[in-house]
Chains A and B, each alone.
Chain A
Amino acid sequence: ETGVTQTPRHLVMGMTNKKSLKCEQHLGHNAMYWYKQSAKKPLELMFVYNFKEQTENNSVPSRFSPECPNSSHLFLHLHTLQPEDSALYLCASSQGGLAGAPGQFFGPGTRLTVL
């Protein structure tokens, strides 16, 4: 595996389900991110982890719960989601926190549909 991988690629869940998204980076980076991309809206940063420590929670509802067990793995636990949470969820990683060069590298995303 190379780059940033995400599983599953597609997920359909009911509002009462609990599911988790997984991200793994094979780039030796120390910062990982979760973004949400909805139709017609800019990418929204959700969470930032730098050296496994959460350094940013961008006012995300508690029904989204991140977990970063080490610098290579990142999870997003989902429970009691709403239909408006349907979106593309993107994981990214970078060398160094936040926005240093050479930039963040994205995984393929998980297309989430909440019924």
Chain B
Amino acid sequence: QKEVEQNSGPLSVPEGAIASLNCTYSDRGSQSFFWYRQYSGKSPELIMFIYSNGDKEDGRFTAQLNKASQYVSLLIRDSQPSDSATYLCAGSIKAAGNKLTFGGGTRVLVKP
């Protein structure tokens, strides 16, 4: 079982809609979680981090963490074509010595 798993997509979203991305992790003792955005040919850019159960909002982005169910999600409201990118979920996975472990990423396509 992979330590951090994401659906590779692509997730196709109409402009203005909500994009919902999910990520699951294997180790219940894991603490901090991060969402990165990576445009094609570019490096990952940190957009959100969360370590408490519940929701965390930053502009059009909302991260949700549910430690009991071991999943993290990212909602992108009012999706724009510029949001088209690969979104990487990463977690501080206890079983991996608290290293930052990345999922494979979900590709998001926002269509005008």
Contacts and interface: CB of A to CB of B under 8 A. Distances in A.
Interface residues of A, number: 20
Interface residues of A: mostly helix, strand, loop or mixed?
loop
Contacts of A48: 99
B40 to A, nearest CB: 11
Contact of B32 (A41, A56, A99, A108): A99
B32 to A, nearest CB: 6
Contacts of A105: 46
A90 B103 CA distance: 16
A103 interface: yes
Given A42-B104, A45-B99, A45-B100, A98 B92 contact: yes
Interface residues of B, number: 25
Interface string A8-23: 0000000000000000
A98 B100 contact: yes
B72 interface: no
A34 interface: no
Interface of B: 4, 31-32, 34, 36, 42-46, 49, 51, 88, 90-92, 97-105
Interface of A: 41-43, 45, 48, 56, 88, 90, 98-109
26 contacts: A42-B102, A42-B104, A43-B44, A45-B99, A56-B97, A98-B92, A98-B98, A98-B99, A99-B31, A99-B91, A99-B92, A99-B100, A101-B32, A101-B49, A101-B51, A102-B46, A103-B32, A103-B46, A103-B90, A103-B100, A104-B46, A104-B100, A105-B46, A106-B36, A108-B42, A108-B43
Given A48-B99, A56-B97, A102-B49, 5 more contacts: A42-B104, A43-B102, A90-B44, A99-B99, A101-B49
